Chain A
Amino acid sequence: MRRVAICGLSMCKVGNHYHKSLRELFAKVALDAMENAGGPPVNAMYVGNMSSSEHTSQKNIGVLLSNSIGLNSTPSMLVECADGSGGAALYEGFKSVASGLYDIVIVGGVEKMSEATHGENRKISSKAIEQECEAFNGLSIDGEFAIIMRYYMHYYGVPKRQFALFAVQMHKHAARNRYAQLPYEVSVEDALNMQTIADPVTLFDTAPAGDGAAAVILCPLERAQEFTDTPIEIAGAGQASDTLALYDRKNILTFKATSEASKIALESSKLKISDINLFEVHDSYTISGFLALEDLGVIERGKVGQSVEEGLIDLNGPIPTNLSGGLKARGHPMGATGVYQAVESSLQLRGEAGKNQADPAKVALIQNAAGIGSLVTVHVLKRV
């Protein structure tokens, strides 16, 4: 296998881009990423997206989007793994360069959620969960996480306030991120007094719906200097699955696909979890942020809320997590989220993260999950 690097990147602010179509949103970001890499000839493209066929009726958007940037014969395809699509597209791109099949690959992620109402988006995002016996009975993705969160609170004896603290921390980071959808700070009281979506999940336990696009350009590490002065190596990558259905889980307080994907990614990078300087994890709900940090082995089980309160995941703490603001406050444009994580972490490793720059920032780990952790990708990024 060849070593793979990120040699170009771009993203747009997450939000309601009513005036832009799916392809306009994507084209601007993808062209900026190519320019960031000095405009190399592209061999292939992989795009993460969850819901274009619901939001815009368009299928086969890999081709729609490659056409949108002037690539009319380059292989291009959609990678759909619910809200884990972005990380899965990155994994596909990584494999295709590592294998030697392609040299220059665009990995993009895009989602256009402002095309639908809140109720429609709840139905669309709930397609990530098992339909036959869970969604059929009225369960939503919010409800799945609510069931897990209630059991977490019951099992560990943790108050709701600990989850509010996590949301407050995400907003603190997002307030310094100009690409964030919700770039402002909130108080614990604000976070606790929001409307209930699915008890005990309140609005501030969820990630906002938004439009977004992000892209990275991959190349063999040995060629990276041709395209950039600041290559970032994808030093390790892993993917794993769990049961799609909650009713098939032996233990609902762990997303084992996170542990397994992370183990594979760390082994392939020859690094340990203690070598990681910063994390971007998939906090589609506050509880999924908790489980991610526990399943990665970063924080002891049942102790995430307490660790947040002690400042451990803050920019100035020992394990800076979601300096972007996370899905909670940077925003969660579903299939694009995993690519946002790659762009944000690469900027950190380049030393270009602005007011949220971590120090040291040599190695980052990104974790992107589908639904209730039914599919997880983990990538380890390293400054060369």
Chain B
Amino acid sequence: MWREIPQRYRLEGAVCKNCNFSFFPPRTICPNCGSKELNLQNFSQSGKVLSYTVIRKPPSDFETCEPYPVALIELLEGVKVICQLTDCDVDEISIGMPVEAVFRKVREDGEDGVVHYAIKFRPLTRDGNLSKK
């Protein structure tokens, strides 16, 4: 959906002006202190894998995509997001693995009849370069 473009295409979240809490996606009030004084912010494009799964029996609208890895990722700001991992073998994923955001197709032909694009994450090697995969 067009209104979700900022968060889906560039990880736009919010930082609370009152308590400095960062969160994603943006919402009307700060989930930490309840303040309505918020700044929109594009969060960093890198983070680490907190935990993950590989979906092998997907919901019906992802049946053509399996198997695919999905991870709980912590960005540098401490914000957590759920995103797919890409450009890697599922066997090379591990908890703590550093990752960076890339723009990818998530699935085709959803209920809106459109192709859905969003952020996925791919592994970074220890020196900050991309994995060879």
Contacts and interface: CB of A to CB of B under 8 A. Distances in A.
| A interacts with B | yes
Interface of A: 117-120, 122-123, 126, 132-140, 142-143, 146-148, 150-151, 154, 195-201, 243, 245-249, 252
A137 B60 contact: no
A369 B45 CA distance: 34
Contact of A198 (B53, B60, B63, B83): B53
Contacts of A200: 53
12 contacts: A117-B60, A118-B57, A122-B60, A137-B118, A138-B106, A143-B53, A147-B53, A195-B57, A196-B57, A245-B82, A247-B79, A248-B31
Contacts of A147: 51-53, 70-72
Contacts of A140: 55, 57-59, 62
Contacts of A138: 55, 58-59, 62, 65, 68, 70, 84, 106-107
B53 A146 contact: yes
A226 B79 CA distance: 58
A122 B57 contact: yes
Contacts of B54: 196, 198-199
Given A138-B70, A138-B107, A247-B81, A126 B51 contact: no
Given A151-B51, A154-B51, A198 B82 contact: no
Contacts of B58: 119, 122, 138, 140
Most-contacted residue by chain B among A123, A138, A199 (CB, 10 A): A138
A243 B63 CA distance: 28
Contacts of A150: 51-53, 95
A196 B57 CA distance: 8
Interface string B57-93: 1111111010010111000000111111000001000
Contact of B95 (A118, A139, A151): A151
Contacts of A139: 55, 70, 82
5 closest Cβ pairs, A-B complex: A146-B53, A123-B59, A119-B60, A151-B51, A247-B80
Contacts of A201: 53
A147 B61 CA distance: 20
B7 interface: yes
Contacts of A246: 72, 80, 82
Nearest to A148: B51
Given A147-B51, A147-B53, A136 B118 contact: yes
Most-contacted residue by chain A among B72, B90, B118 (CB, 10 A): B72
Most-contacted residue by chain B among A135, A150, A200 (CB, 10 A): A150
Nearest to B50: A151
A201 B80 CA distance: 22
A196 B53 CA distance: 11
B36 interface: no
Contact of B106 (A134, A136, A198, A252): A136
Contact of A119 (B53, B59, B116): B59
Contact of A196 (B50, B56, B71): B56
A358 B59 CA distance: 39
